[in-house]
């Protein structure tokens, strides 16, 4: 019989969850995120920029990513197989 894995337990520490958002985002931005999640719609550009910055900062602080070069991120870049393997390895470590 194959082993059952609790994916949330394994990957949870490396996910920018609502709880982490609540800790890091300004109250008004967090409220906007929750509203959009519950009711639909789009985040304002200002809120999206705050969320993106906090997600990036959190990911660097927690060793989830280091960017594509020192101090540089490529959120619109395509991930290579090697980068995906690195993310998965980091998540499972």
Residue 40 located in a structural domain: yes
pLDDT band at 7 (very low <50, low <70, confident <90, very high): low
Please state, in angstroms and as integers, the Cα–Cα distance from residue 26 to each residue in 29, 59, 66, following that order. 5, 18, 24
- Does position 86 have pLDDT exceeding 70, yes or no? yes
The domain containing residue 39 runs over which residues? Answer: 7-92
Residue 48 located in a structural domain: yes
Task: Tell me the mean pLDDT in the region 71-89.
Answer: 76
Residue 1 located in a structural domain: no
DSSP-based helix, strand, coil % in the chain, nearest 5: 60, 0, 35
Residue 58 located in a structural domain: yes
The residue ranking higher by pLDDT, 89 or 24, is 24
Please state, in angstroms and as integers, the Cα–Cα distance from residue 19 to each residue in 9, 15, 29, following that order. 15, 10, 13
What is the token pair recorded at 74? 């490529």
Looking at the 3D structure of the chain, how many domains does it have?
A: 1
CA 25 from centre of chain: 13
- pLDDT tens for residues 39-57? 999 999 999 999 988 988 8
């Amino acid at each position: 019989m194959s082993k059952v894995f609790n994916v949330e337990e394994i990957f949870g520490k490396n996910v920018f969850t609502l709880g982490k958002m609540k800790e890091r985002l300004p109250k008004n931005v967090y409220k906007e995120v929750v509203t959009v999640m519950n009711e639909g719609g789009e985040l304002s550009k200002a809120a999206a920029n705050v969320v993106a910055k906090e997600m990036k900062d959190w990911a660097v602080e927690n060793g989830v990513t280091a960017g594509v070069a020192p101090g540089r991120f490529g959120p619109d870049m395509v991930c290579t197989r090697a980068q995906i393997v690195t993310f998965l390895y980091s998540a499972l470590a």
